[in-house]
Amino acid sequence: MNATMQDHLSRIFQAAVDRVDPYAMIRSQVSLDGSELSIDTETVHENIDLDTFDEIVILGAGKAGAPMARALEDILGDRIARGTVVVKAGHLDTLTKIELLEASHPIPDHRSVAAGKRILDEAERGAEGTLFLIVVSGGGSALLESPRQCSIDGKPVGITLEDMQRATSVLLANGVAIHEINAVRKHLSGIKGGQLAKALFPAHSISLILSDVVGDQLDAIASGLTVPDPTTYATALGIVESYGIARELPKPVMRILTAGAEGLLEETPKPGDPVFKPVQNVLVGTNYQALLAAENTAESLGYNTAIITSQLVGEARNAANFISAVAGEVRRHETPLRTPACLLFGGETTVTLRGDGLGGRNQEMALAILEEMATAPETLRDVSVLCASTDGTDGPTDAAGAFASPDILQQANAKALHPREYLHRNDSYRFFDSLGQLLKTGPTNTNVCDIQIVLVPAES
């Protein structure tokens, strides 16, 4: 890939990530003047007199938990009585008033269960005079777990950590969309789907939420810890059946989903439930905000730029076909933009695992785009692409994503590396690693889904 193009792709992506820096997002939207706490976002403008509360407690979970917690600590200082926030292992920070706990992502582990118990205990410790400020970001579904324990026909039925791990792995491996995964997880957990709000009641709580979900659906972000749950056991069971994965799930999981769908178990708290009366959920950062920053940077570099969508979903390979088609229109017909052009996409796709390779949805998408370039070299000539995750971790790898261009395809051909073969075994990481075309940012401590950047230069 042309060094200038690769530099431009990297700079545009970094501008997007910088825009949704969790610490900066909180500091720019939350402030303290005397005893008055102000929350000022695009949709919420609220002033709260902290002197009307007996204590202020910080709770939370997510990949962005550490910088969000640090921002609140810097704003509130000694007004914080105590705090507990759960973060992904390796994402710690040094704080004085808030304790950070590590847990596993994307598959929960014993630390996730211990963290879930700790957060629920802290929630139930609060009283009517307690103000809880809760920081929520992507990854919270795995980092915070409380496996469901219930009674069916008078007999105790429980889900173990191993059941949760297996269920999560099956859902991820079969290309289930994140909002669908979370609909299932809510009904296998004692903390998700508004159940943390139930534990917090009657205390007042404000959740500051960084969205990692397409469409910014609050009930799906970290499985809606403090948000009314519009999904049901029947919804969850329907998702499992639609993907044909019932036989792959542990028997206790299916027993609980089936019993719940038959009305034998209490549902998660729904819209209108009194437990949500003292709860406020505030969106503080989104994928679209990141795309706007990317757009500004691309324009400053001389590109005619457009945000095509912030809601790219579905199989990564199908998304690659769509991105390639739009890029091809620009190259062939100078529409919807004249060259030099920058096309921006955001969202979160899925990968249905068929092979035993290593990779992530963005690397798979970049590899599928290379395959498109091999199929239609003239249509995509000189086009350069970066597909990357804003959290710096694409799948179970150390890469954020990968680059794609005709030059990279030529390098692959020279080494007898064939995109189609690597796609067949879901081995995108090893393909791009062999060519030195992975983007490795390290953990960014933010998470607002993925971004794809396409550059189409003017004809030389």
- Is 179 a domain residue? no
Statement to judge: residues 53 and 138 lie in one domain: yes
Task: Say if residue 416's pLDDT is above 80.
Answer: yes
Residue 281's closest CA among 214, 210, 213? 210
Q: Of 455 and 90, which is predicted with more confidence?
A: 455
Residues 320 and 424 in one domain: yes
- Tokens encoding 42: 């695009």
Cα separation, 98 vs 157, in Å, equals 35
Count of CB atoms within 10 A of residue 424's CB?
A: 12
Q: Identify any residues that bridge with 386 across adjacent strands, giving them in sequence order.
A: 403, 453
Same structural domain, 25 and 94: yes
Please state, in angstroms and rounded to a whole number, the distance separating the CA atoms of residues 344 and 333: 18
Q: Does 252 fall in a domain?
A: no
% of the chain at pLDDT higher than 70: 100
Q: Which two tokens stand for residue 312?
A: 């790219």
CATH number, position 44: 3.40.50.10180
- Residue 154: pLDDT band (50, 70, 90) is confident
Domain match, 281 and 303 both: no
**Residue 279 counted as domain residue:** yes
Q: Are residues 298 and 214 in the same domain?
A: no
Position 440 in a domain: yes
Q: What is the pLDDT of residues 362-407, one digit of tens each?
A: 999 999 999 999 999 899 999 999 999 999 999 999 999 999 999 9
261 in any annotated domain: no
Residues 33 and 116 in one domain: yes
pTM: 0.94
Residue 352 and residue 411 in one domain: yes
Q: Is residue 248 part of a domain?
A: no
Give the model confidence (pLDDT) of 112-124 as tens digits. 999 999 999 999 9
- Average pLDDT of the chain, as a whole number: 97
Token pair for 209: 């939420």
> 392: domain range?
3-12+288-456
Amino acid symbol at 11 = R
Would you say 66 and 141 are in contact if contact means Cβ atoms under 8 Å apart?
no
CA atoms within 13 A on the CB side of 432: 34
Pairing of strands 130-136, 55-61: parallel
CATH number of the domain residue 298 falls in: 3.40.1480.10
Each residue of 312-359: pLDDT tens digit?
A: 999 999 999 999 999 999 999 999 999 999 999 999 999 999 999 999
Per-residue pLDDT of 209-249, as tens digits, reads 999 999 999 999 999 999 999 999 999 999 999 999 999 99
Domain count, the chain: 2
pLDDT(3) > 90: no
| Distance in angstroms (rounded) separating the CA atoms of residues 414 and 427 | 19
C-alpha span between 311 and 213 (Å, rounded): 9
> pLDDT by residue (tens digit) across 266-312?
999 999 999 999 999 999 999 999 999 999 999 999 999 999 999 99
Q: What is the pLDDT of residues 30-85, one digit of tens each?
A: 999 999 999 999 899 999 999 999 999 999 999 999 999 999 999 999 999 999 99
Residues 308 and 390 in one domain: yes
Band (455; pLDDT cuts 50, 70, 90): very high
Residue 460 has pLDDT above 90, yes or no: no
**224 and 298: one domain?**
no
Q: Do 75 and 46 fall into the same domain?
A: yes
The pLDDT score that the predictor gives to residue 411 is 97
35 domain-assigned: yes
pLDDT at 459 exceeding the cut of 90: no
pLDDT in the model for residue 114: 98
Residues 6+ apart with CB under 8 A from 251: none
Residue 442 domain-assigned?
yes
Same domain, 43 and 31: yes
Which candidate, 334, 329, 364, places its Cα nearest to that of 452? 364
Residue 301 and residue 280 share a domain? no
Task: State mean pLDDT over 81-95.
Answer: 94
